[in-house]
Amino acid sequence: MPSIFQRYDLIGLIKLTISWIVTKVLFRPARLIRVPYYIRGKNSISWGSGFTTGVGVRLDAFSSSNLKTKLIVIGERVQINDYVHIGAIESIRIGNDVLIASKVFISDHNHGRYNQADDMSSPDIPPAARPLFSSPVIIEDRVWIGENVCIMPGVTIGTGAIIGAGSVVTHNILAECIAAGVPAKVIKRYNRELKEWLSV
C-alpha cells in the first residue's frame, strides 16, 4: 500500500490537511469531508463515524419545520465520492458501509406530481413554480452505487444491492441484486448456495 506521500503531491497534501482540520472542527464524527463542499440545512443532517466524502459534495436538507428532525441520515463508514448531490425535503436514509461513486444524484422530491392528475403540475406551469412533492428514499446497508446514477423519490434499495453506472432508479431494488439501465432493472441476483451472482 503506497504511503500518503506517494499518493499525493505537495498541493494535494495541503488540500488534504485543510480538509482534515475542517472535518475535525466542524464535522465530527466524520472521517474526512473534503473541501470544497456545499451543505445547506446542516442541523437537519446527521452522519456516523467514518463518513468520508470526495470534493464538491452537495447536501441539501430543506425546510424542516421541526429543527430536531433529521431529513438526511447517513450511517457508519459511508463513503460518497466527488460531486455527489443529495437533496431532501422529507427523508433520505443511507445505511452502514454504503459506497457511492462520483456524480450521483439522490432526491426525495420533485417539482410537481407526475403519477396522478394535478393541475399545478401541468406543462403550462413553469417547473420552478410547481409545488414540491416528496416520498422517502431508503438505501440499506452495504449498497454500492455506481458513477452517474440517479435515485428518484420513493425508492428503497435493499441490503447488499449494486446499482450499475449511469442507471436511473425509479422503483425499489431488492436486496442482493444488481440493477442497471434506464430505468434500472434487476439483471443479477446473488445465490448464497453457489456464492455467485447469477443472471436473471
Give the residue numbers annotated as catalytic, written as ranges.
111
Report helix, strand or coil for 58. strand
Q: In angstroms, rounded to a whole number, what is the distance separating the alpha carbons of residues 58 and 129?
A: 23
- Identify whether the C-beta of residue 9 lies closer than 8 Å to the C-beta of residue 30: no
Helix (H), strand (E), coil (C) string for 4-21 = HHHHCCHHHHHHHHHHHH
Q: Which of 38, 51, 45, 96 is nearest to 71 (CA)?
A: 45
Nearest CA-CA partner of 134 in 75, 70, 87: 87
Place of cell 467514518: 50
Phi, psi of 40 (to 5 degrees): -120, 135
Grid coordinates of 102: 462520483
Task: Mention every residue, 6+ apart, whose C-beta is less than 8 A from residue 153.
Answer: 107, 108, 109, 110, 133, 134, 135, 136, 137
